[in-house]
Amino acid sequence: GILYLFWMAYKIGSSKGHMKIKEKHKPFTFTQAALFQWVNPKGWIMSMTAMSIFVTSKDNSIGQVIIIAFIFLLAGVISCNAWAIGGVALKRFIKDDSHVRKFNLIMAILLVLSVLPVIIEY
């Protein structure tokens, strides 16, 4: 998982940062986005980690899984809305390719920094 996140940070940080979006690439529909979660490596890593850490009893494992799933759902709704609002706000500040490049570099650095505590912990 760590290697994947580093690879993603590299791809984000080294992207050209073009403002123009091709007409051929449309955003996912709701159904496509929901189905994408089944092949999303970050989602699998997150869910396997959560289940291995927070499911503590065989006797009540179904109840614990339901609680974890509800928390994931709640976190997903909150974070998706935060990203949407953040995207609208960032649109005002990102006006050309150089701004996109700077934003991508900041995001790549933050992604690497978010992984460092996991590495340092071991």
pLDDT digits (tens, 9 = 90+) for 34-62: 898 889 888 888 889 999 999 998 888 99
pLDDT for the residue numbered 10: 96
Backbone angles phi, psi at 29, to 5 degrees: -75, 170
Does residue 27 have a pLDDT over 90? no
What sign does the CA torsion over 113, 115, 121, 122 have? Answer: negative
Token reading at 80: 């998706």
What total number of domains does the chain contain? 1
Residue 21 lies in a domain: no
| Separation CA 81–CA 87 (nearest Å) | 10
Token reading at 71: 């928390």
Domain that residue 63 falls in: 2-14+30-121
pTM: 0.60
pLDDT for the residue numbered 45: 87
Residue 23 lies in a domain: no
Residue 19 lies in a domain: no
pLDDT for the residue numbered 41: 84
